[in-house]
Amino acid sequence: MEIAVTNTNTIVEALTKAIVEHRLHPGTKLAEQKLADHFGVSRTLVRQALFQLSQNRLIRLEPARGAFVAAPSATEARQVFAVRRMLEAEMTRAFVREVTPSRIKQLKDHHIRQKASAKESKDPAHRIEVQGDFHIQMARLLDNDVLVQMMIELLSRCSLITLMYRKDNAPEHSEDDHEELIKAISARDEARAAQLMDEHLQRLEDALTFDRKIPSNDISMALA
């Protein structure tokens, strides 16, 4: 008799797919026992999977309450992008003011690797993460640890928002936008670079939709 083996990664992938495809409503409680029964595994495996998902910001773990699908609202999403525009506009200006040939080369090399990785991947979550890392790389090259940490947190929240609210078949602009930004930085054009960053972030926000059909709160139905 052949027995199907379910491991932590299987649970993580199934829940991620259900969240990304909007089959699990933000705020849904992910009861450990229900998930264990659905997958036919122990609660220990489920707990490990939920911890991984919390690290990816797809769910939140609340002491004494359990696990819930992360629920960024439309208002929160707009606020995240507003903060990104404010922070990254100044980051871009600072990058141009402090730019060196070495930093330009490192940013170009990073963009080339990022573009190849995004092109090869069929996983939307991976592509979003890789494209977002371009922005974190700018912070790293400025040698500002506080800025890097702030960017990592913002990009994590933004990735979840993008996964949950991105319009179907929305056009991809990130790679072209990043190339134009590198050109403006290389030309030491501070105003142009800041403008391009602002327009890039606005396009990312415009690719979101907040009027999706409300997904199911039923775990079994969502994972079927």
Render pLDDT for 34-80 as a digit per residue (tens, 0 to 9). Answer: 999 999 999 999 999 999 888 877 888 999 899 999 878 888 899 99
- Residue range 74-206, CATH number: 1.20.120.530
pTM for this prediction: 0.71
Domain ranges of the chain: 8-71, 74-206
Query: N- to C-terminal Cα distance for the chain?
Result: 23
- What distance in Å separates the CA atoms of residue 114 and residue 49, rounded to the nearest whole number? 27
Q: Which of 60, 53, 68 is nearest to 17 (CA)?
A: 53
Render pLDDT for 165-222 as a digit per residue (tens, 0 to 9). Answer: 888 776 677 889 999 999 999 999 999 999 999 999 999 999 998 876 555 555 666 6
- pLDDT for res 199: 96
Q: Which two tokens stand for residue 58?
A: 């797809």
Beta strands per DSSP E along the chain: 29-30, 59-62, 66-69
Tell me which fold the domain 8-71 belongs to. Arc Repressor Mutant, subunit A (1.10.10)
Alpha carbon 73 to chain centroid, angstroms: 15
- Whether 100 shows a pLDDT value over 90: the answer reads yes
Q: Which of 75, 39, 99, 14 is nearest to 205 (CA)?
A: 75
